[in-house]
Amino acid sequence: MEILAFGVQADEQPLIEAAFRGHQDVHCLDVFLTEDTAPIAAGHEIVSTSVNADLGAPVLETLAAGGTRMVAQRSTGFNNVDLDAAERLGLTVARVSSYSPYSVAEFAWTLAMAVNRRIVRASTRTRDFDFRLHGLMGRDLHGRTAGVLGTGKIGEAFARIAHGFGMRLLGWDVAENPACLALGMRYVPKDELLAESDLVSLHVPLMAATQHLIDANALKAMKDDAILVNSSRGGLIDTTALVGELRAGRFTGVGLDVYEAEAGLFFLDKSLEAIADDTLARLVTFPNVLVTSHQAYYTEDAVGQIVDATVRNVLDYRAGRRSENVLVPRS
């Protein structure tokens, strides 16, 4: 029986095909799973999906009606999955519980350094043979304070890099990470972290409790010249409130690899279309904002690990085994 994989990037396809070779036939599609594309999966027992797939109840019902019995999501986050509907429909849902934390942590630092040192503006100028330095002044990060919201594996990797820069470390999480404490991190309430940090980086999952974790009040608590980086999930930031603060001239820089309304936009070529999302259109016009299209995880190492874990999830399903990657059934 052939697996149908939705939302496969061109660079990702050979890795998926090679990993499944000898185990299972797989057919890769570059279209994303939505209500419109879900009927394509009819007759496929196993469907693999990407991070921006729509796995709400209507899509899951269409999949189940077409004979799908397992959904193997190629991502860690699962805020896009209606787990209650999946359980009601008797679907097995698995994710990739972990992959290279360095891919995301290193990219978060790439964003931080790019906005701090005005790399995009400088590159644009030199392409036009404009070699002036006016407006390109950044700041040393050595000796300044990095605030890490979420100190799991990725947050820890980010903190290790910050420690290498010689930064003071503040952390916020439901549990303290001993490895971060060993780096000298001090855990503080969120508002204290925001008020004292020169660089704030988000590394928490998106769930009801973290939706708009950085809301209007949180943004106002931050330093006017702070740098804000989000390489986790777009819904962690109230983007409308962020635009308001940017319009007021606040923040040295903002680096966003995710956006709360990115579904239907990110991973697609929209260059010849009018963008109806006024918030995103406004956001990308600010000279101190850098937006990338959810690529922090996109390294050979991380994608290879994601694909290998997906293969294991499928093989476990076939053999009736459970692992920490199974979200449904929940017992």
Is residue 324 flagged as an active site residue?
no
- Count of C-beta atoms within a 10 Å radius of residue 234: 18
Bridge partners of 148, per DSSP, are 171, 201
Nearest 10 degrees: Cα torsion 14, 56, 291, 304: -20
Q: Are 136 and 122 in contact (CB under 8 A)?
A: yes
Q: Which of 233, 245, 250, 260 is catalytic?
A: 233
Specify the DSSP element, H or E, that contains 114: helix 101-116
Among the listed residues 297, 281, 306, the one whose alpha carbon sits nearest the alpha carbon of residue 105: 297
Q: Which of 12, 156, 245, 262 is catalytic?
A: 262
Q: Which amino acid is at 38?
A: A
- Count of C-beta atoms within a 10 Å radius of residue 152: 16
Among the listed residues 213, 184, 327, 198, the one whose alpha carbon sits nearest the alpha carbon of residue 253: 198
Looking up tokens 């797939």 gives 53
Q: What are phi and psi of 93, to 5 degrees?
A: -125, 125
User: Encoding tokens for residue 170?
Assistant: 């503040």
Q: Which residues are annotated as catalytic?
A: 233, 262
